[in-house]
Amino acid sequence: MKRILFFTIMSSMILVSCDLFDSDKKKTAPTPFPENMELEAKSVIASNNEFGFDLFKKIYQDDSAENMMISPISISLALAMTYNGAERETQTAFENTLHLTDFSRDQINAIYQNLQNYLKKTDPKVKMNIANSVWSKQGTNVEEEFRKNIREFYNSEFRIEDFSNPSTLNAINNWVEDNTEGKIQNILDRIDCDAFMYLINAIYFKGKWANSFDIKNTYSGIFTDEDAVNSTAKYMTTNMHVGYLNNDVFTALELPYGNNDYSMAILLPNENKKIADVVDQLNDSNWNQWMNSFSKLELNVHLPKFKFEYKQELSNILIQLGMENPFSNTADFSGISRDLPLKISRVIHQSFIEVNEEGAEAAAATVVEVSVNSVGPSNFIKLNKPFFFAIKEKQTNSIVFMGTFKKP
């Protein structure tokens, strides 16, 4: 089966100083990021993007048979909240894996706080919701400094619940469902007996195309996967001004949403290339170069409609990326509680995407379970084969979603 590669810009952040579709108008970035962001914020965003690409490439290698999408920002925010309770070697493992070794915890928290506010407010024509919550087991002690940080910097709810009561599982799942407009359901299948805390992020995005597709022009056509197997897809089509880039590996389009602050970047492998060739080149440096190299071009675009869900347990992948200590019995989460030895037991990520004539609707949620230790362009382009795509906010270049589409 072919798959759709989806990158969710919420956790990765990339910086592009130019605005392709608004080059003639001066943009005033909303609080907190000014038009020229401070170096610290740019560096943290670049680090988050690098982590997002690391994670995406590893997932793609291990799970290449499906359409897939992750939200790097959702994953990073859930891990960042957890990081606030990490000490010593456990703290170092977080910083190394997230590429945040050059920053203090206070700097990281403040930049995440500002980024969340910015992403939610930057485009009034795009609905972007980001919510965080922490659920702690009734009868256990949680350090006050940890509570303070996750409330202040992540605007997180803090709830104390009876984990032995079946209604708590429903309450957690309902919270995620409510904060993703019903798109992420039943993310947790159980509450383990050793569970001490759940740290959760939820993200919801809904953006209308700046140039919409007329549903009357939608038609059925052939989509050919990487195994040369044909299937039928519904193609939306219109003439529009898009960002366009072509290199030796892929042809890229940038399709704007709303006021052009958010856009979808689509990377279509060239002839004799596959999505794996595109994924191999994904890193922060290349991404910035590509996003700064788009030229504006009017094209007749044929884009397949698609809709899918994706779910992945990330624990083993994060361990392979360098986070072995936080999952081990030697983990130090004394910043969360000094009464019990704690470790991360599960990290669950779930996402949803629908792309149609009006625009895109996407959602994602990440749950970190902390437990007690048991011890040259043509004027025509048709995207009729698998491609990579990402939804991003353009002023900060934050990647909210990224994925691959390989089969309708």
Same domain for 286 and 389, yes or no, is yes
The strand pair at 68-70 and 230-246 is best described as unpaired
Mean pLDDT of the chain: 88
Q: Are residues 219 and 259 in the same domain?
A: yes
For residue 130, give both structure tokens.
Answer: 């980001």
Looking at the fold, whether 77 and 145 belong to one and the same domain comes out as yes
Predicted pLDDT of residue 63 = 77
Say if 17 falls within a structural domain.
Answer: no
pLDDT attached to residue 396? 86
For residue 390, what are its two tokens?
């990402």
Is the Cβ–Cβ distance between 300 and 381 less than 8 Å? yes
Residue 28 in domain: no
> What confidence tier does 33 reach under pLDDT thresholds 50, 70, 90?
low
Q: What is the DSSP letter of 41?
A: H
pLDDT band of residue 389 (cuts 50, 70, 90) is confident
pLDDT of residue 203: 98
Q: Does residue 18 sit within a domain?
A: no
Provide the residue type at 367 as one letter: V
At 35, is the pLDDT very low, low, confident or very high (cuts 50, 70, 90)? low
Q: Is residue 162 part of a domain?
A: yes
* Residue 324 and residue 234 share a domain: no
Could you tell me the two tokens for 24? 């003639």
User: For the segment 371-386, what is each residue's pLDDT rounded down to a tens digit?
Assistant: 998 754 556 677 888 9
Instruction: Report if residue 25 sits inside a domain.
Output: no
Q: What is the CATH number of the domain that holds 106?
A: 3.30.497.10
Number of domains the chain contains:
2
307: number of Cβ within 10 Å: 12
User: Exposed, middle or buried: residue 295 (CB in 10 Å: 0-12, 13-18, 19+)?
Assistant: exposed
pTM of the model: 0.87
Question: Is 26 inside a domain boundary?
Answer: no
Q: pLDDT band for 39, please (50, 70, 90 cuts).
A: confident
pLDDT at 331 over 80: yes
Instruction: Supply the angle between the helices 144-154 and 105-121 in degrees, to the nearest 10.
Output: 30
Is 303:357 a contact under the CB 8 Å cutoff? no
- Whether pLDDT at 180 is above 80: yes
What pLDDT, in 10s, does the model give residues 272-290? 999 999 999 999 999 999 9
CATH number, domain of 253, equals 2.30.39.10
pLDDT of the residue at 375: 57
- How far, in Å, are 79, 152, 156, 392 from residue 113 at the CA level? 14, 8, 11, 18
- pLDDT at res. 65: 59
What integer pLDDT is reported at residue 126 of this predicted model?
95
How far is it, in rounded angstroms, from Cα 147 to Cα 153?
Answer: 10
Q: Are residues 221 and 336 in the same domain?
A: no
Do 88 and 182 have their domain in common?
A: yes
Q: Burial of 104 by CB count in 10 Å (0-12 exposed, 13-18 middle, 19+ buried)?
A: exposed
Residue 84 to residues 17, 131, 274: CA-CA distances in angstroms?
31, 17, 40
Smallest CA-to-CA distance from 235 within 3, 2, 405, 401 is with 405
Is 134 in the same domain as 50? yes
Question: What would the two tokens of residue 305 be?
Answer: 């409609």
- Strand partners for 251: 246, 268
| 235 lies in some domain | yes
Q: pLDDT value at position 64?
A: 64
Percentage above 90 pLDDT, the chain: 74
Which whole number is the average pLDDT over 341-356?
97
Least Cα distance to 67 among 354, 304, 403, 350 occurs for 403
Res 31: pLDDT? 47
- 37-51, 179-193, 197-211: segment of lowest average pLDDT: 37-51
Most confident option among 26-35, 134-143, 371-380: 134-143
317 and 281, same domain (yes or no): no
Quickly state the pLDDT bin for 408 (edges 50, 70, 90): confident
Is residue 257 assigned to a domain? yes
Do 315 and 297 sit in the same domain of this protein? no
271 shares its domain with 382 = yes
Backbone angles phi, psi at 21, to 5 degrees: -95, -5
**Residue 355 or 2, more confident:** 355
Q: Are residues 66 and 143 in the same domain?
A: yes
In this predicted structure, the answer to whether residue 14 has a pLDDT above a threshold of 50 is: no
- Taking a C-beta distance cutoff of 8 angstroms, is the pair 345, 182 a contact? no
Q: Are residues 98 and 235 in the same domain?
A: no
Query: Alpha helix (H) ranges present in 63-165?
Result: 72-83, 88-97, 105-121, 144-154
Distance from chain centroid for Cα 132: 15
Q: Select from 176, 200, 27, 44 the least CA-distant residue to 107.
A: 44
Q: Which domain holds residue 196?
A: 35-207+308-353
